[in-house]
Structure 1
C-alpha cells in the first residue's frame, strides 16, 4: 500500500514532528510505504526529513505557492500524485487539505483529511472551502474529541465518516540522555519546560510571570522555553523586565527536544487552544507531570497525570508550587503519566492507521 501525505509546509510544529516520526517508523516496517508532498516546498524541518531518508516531493517553492488562488500549485501537485499512484491520500494543514483534496478530484483515490487543532478558521473563504471540500473527503481523522466536535460543526457538511485517533509517542526517539541545562544555559533549580512556537496562543508570557511569583516565594526554579517564533522579542523583554536572567531561557528551535524533557521536572502548557499536543504525551512518557489549561484536549486521556491551571500567572504559579512542595503528588502524576503514555505508542498507532487505510481502500472512493 502506498500513502501520499500532503502537507502545507514543514515548519517547526507538532504536526510536522508527528509526520516525521511516523514516516521514520513506517520506513522500518512493511505496513505501508509513504511519500510526503510538501505543497509550499518550505520549512525549517525539511533538512531533518531529508537526512532521515524520508521521501519528500515539493509542489511549490515559496509560501506564495499555497495561496488559495494558485491553481498552478494544485495542478503540479496533481501531476505528482498521478506519478506516485497512491492508494490513499492523507492531507494535513489547511493548505495541504485544500490543495490535496482539489488535486485528488477525479483520481479515484480515497482521501483522509486529518484535523489536529480546535481553532476555527477566521477567514470566510477558508471556512467555505473546508465545508465544500468535505464532499471530496472520504474520512475525517481528529486527534481528540474536541477536534472532532469542531470538524462536525465547521467542516463535515457532507456527513463523511469521522474518527478520533489520539497522537502517539515513539519510545526509541525518547530513549536519550538528559541535557545538563545548568552547563548549557546557567539555569538553576528545578526545570519547568515549555515546548512550542513562540506565539500568543501558547501563553509563554504568563508562564514567565508565574516564574517570577514562584521565585518570590523563595523556590529555586527555572523555566526553559524550547521553540522559536514571532513572540521572541516580547518574551526577551519580559525576561529583562522581571529580572529573570539566570532563571529563564529561550533556546530557539532545537531538534533534540527529548533531551530537554529528560532534564526537566515538569511541563507547562497554559495554552489558549491546542489539538492533542504530542509534547504532552512525550513529557508523560519521560515521567513529567504537566501543568495545562483546560483548553488543552490531551486532558481527555491525561487528566490523571496533569494539574489544570487557569490562564493566569497566579494559577500557573500555584500549580508549580504544589508540585515543588508535594513530592508524593509529583511522583503519583509522574507514574500515572508514564503508564498512560505507554498505551499510546507509534507501533499501536500505525496498526490503527493501517486498519483505517485498508478499510478505505477496500471500500473505494466515495465520489
Structure 2
C-alpha cells in the first residue's frame, strides 16, 4: 500500500496502524533466533525506492518483510517522484508513505544558488534546496505518528532523518551500505559539498546506533561512534546455488556488477588482454550495465580481445550464470556488502580480487577461497592470478570446494535476527553492543 502526500496527507490506515502498535494488541510473531517481546511501530526511511534496482533497495524491502513477519508494524517512507511500486517484493502488511512534492521554481533557484557569493553560504543554500523539503516532510510524519524507532538507509536519508527527529525523542538508527570513506569523505558521492560531508558525519553523534555491513568499516569512525556501531551483514540471495550441477562448468571468467568506475572492470579487460593468446579455449564475460559501457567496449576493441571478451548486458538468471562459470574476477575499488563475490563463492566459483578492497577483507582469504593480488601490481597481478588458476585445475578445484562453506553464515535469517536484536536494544534502552571482555 502506498500513501502519497499531497502535500502531506496521510491515510486513515496509517492512523489505525499506529494506534494498534501503541496498544500492543492484535499482532504477535516470531522469527528464528529472535522473539518479539511487543509489537513496535518501525519506520524505514530511504530517499528513493520506486522502480529502483539496487542493493540498498533490496535490503530495505527484505528488512521490512522480516520485521513484519516477526510481528512488528512497519512503514517505509520515501520521496519518489513516481507512484511505481518497489522492484523487490514487499509484504502486504507493510505500509508506504511517499512524501514527494514538486519543488517550485527549481530552475530559478538552481541558477541563483550557482551564483551565490561566498562558497560556504552557497554550499549551505545548495544543501537546503536539495534536502530541506524532505527533512520537513519526514518531521511531520514523525511528529504525527510517533514511531518507536526509525531506521534510515544511506547518507541521502540519514542526515535528513536525524535532523527531522531532533527534539522528538524518537531514536534513529543510521544504516550505511558501503565503504565509509565513500560515504563520508569522497567528494564524488552523494551531495558533493564540504558542508554536506561535515554535516553527515557530525550528526552521527545524535544517532542511537550506527549500522555497517562489514567489520573492517568500524575503524573509520571516532571511538565514541565505534562504541555504538553494529555490524550486520546482508544475506546471500536464497537459492542462488540452485543451478549448480545442472549445467556444465565452462572455461569462463566472469565479471558481475554495474559497469561503473567503482567496479573497475577495465583492469579485468587489461589483464585478460595479457593472457588471452595463451588460453584460446577460455573467455571473459562481464555482465551488467552502466555508464562505463562505451569506454569498456572501446578498450576491448583497442586490446584486440573482442572474440574472447564480451559485455552481454545485465542477466536475469544469475544462478545459472554462476553455475556455468569457473572464476569470478572482481577488481573493485571498494564495496559495501560485496554481493557478486559472495554469491559466486556460494556457487563454488574461485574469486580473484585486489587485497585492499574495503568490504572484501572479511570475506576473502588468500589461498583458501580466493587469490588476492596487491593493488600495486595492477592488471599484471590479476593476469598472473588468472593464468595460475587456468593452468592449475587442482588449485581451482580446492578453492572451489572451500568457497560455499566460507559464506554459509551469510543468510537473510541471520541478517533479520541481527536487526531485531539491535532494534530491541535501542527501544529498550540497552547498550547496542555487549561489553568487550577485558
User: TM-score of the superposition, structure 2-length normalised?
Assistant: 0.71
**SS of residue in 2 equivalent to 1:37:** strand
Aligned to 2:334: 273
Q: Which residue of 2 aligns with 1:13?
A: 54
Q: CA separation in 2, counterparts of 1:239 and 1:34?
A: 47
The answer to whether the Cα contact below 8 Å between 1:144 and 1:166 also exists between their aligned partners in 2 is: yes
Match of 1:298 in 2: 360
Partner Cα separation in structure 2 for residue 77 and residue 198 of structure 1: 34
Aligned to 2:194: 124
Change (3 A) 1:32 1:243: farther
3-state SS in 1 of match to 2:356: coil
Structure with more contact order per residue of length (Cα contacts < 8 Å, sep ≥ 6): 1
Q: Map 1:9-158; keep pairs closer than 5 Å.
A: 9-10=48-49, 11-26=52-67, 29-30=69-70, 32-41=72-81, 47-49=86-88, 55-60=95-100, 68-69=127-128, 70-82=131-143, 85-118=146-179, 119=182, 120-122=185-187, 123-152=193-222
* Pairing partner for 2:231 from 164, 169, 185: 164
Structure 2 segments unaligned to the other structure (5+ residues): 1-39, 107-125, 188-192, 433-438
Structure with the higher fraction of residues in helix conformation: 1
Partner of 2:398: 332
2:422 aligns with: 356
Q: Given the alignment, which residue of 229, 243, 249 partners 2:290? A: 229
Q: CA deviation at 1:342?
A: 1.0
Q: Secondary structure at the match of 2:57?
A: helix
Q: 5+ unaligned residues in a row in structure 1: which ranges?
A: 183-187
Tell me, what secondary structure is at the counterpart of 2:230? Answer: strand
The residue number in structure 1 matching 2:372 is 308
Tell me the SS of whatever aligns to 2:334.
coil
Contact 1:268–1:291 (8 Å) recurs in 2: yes
Structure-1 separation of matches of 2:102 and 2:391:
50
Instruction: State the Cα distance separating 1:206 from its structure 2 match.
Output: 0.9
| Comparing 343-352 and 189-198, the one that deviates more | 189-198
160-169 or 95-104, which deviates more: 160-169
Q: Distance in 1 between matches of 2:67 and 2:203?
A: 28
Q: Deviations over 1:212-246 (max 9, x none)?
A: 22312124222222222211110111122223334
Deviation at 1:24, TM superposition (A): 4.7
Distance in 1, matches of 2:233 and 2:186, equals 22
Identify the range of structure 1 (352-361 vs 326-335) with the bigger mean alpha-carbon deviation.
326-335
Distance 1:216 1:128 in 2: 50
| 2:243 alignment partner in structure 1 | 177
Bigger mean CA offset, 83-92 vs 287-296: 83-92
Check if 1:2 corresponds to 2:41: yes
Paired residue for 2:435?
Answer: none
Number of aligned residue pairs: 353
1:210–1:25: structure 2 CA closer, same or farther, 3 Å change rule?
A: farther
What is the CA–CA distance in structure 2 between the aligned matches of 1:218 and 1:225, rounded to whole Å? Answer: 18
Q: Is the 8 A contact 1:108 1:365 kept in 2?
A: no
SS in structure 2 at match of 1:49: coil
Cα offsets for 1:134-179 (capped at 9, x unmatched) = 2320111121232112233xxx76676112223321323x154379
> Who is 1:239 aligned against?
300
Shifted more, 341-350 versus 275-284: the winner is 275-284
Q: 1:264 to 1:97 in 2, by over 3 A?
A: same
Contact conserved, 2:64 with 2:90, CA < 8 A, in 1? no
Which residue in the other structure is 1:216 paired with?
277
* Correspondence for 1:185: none
After superposition, the CA RMSD in angstroms is 3.3
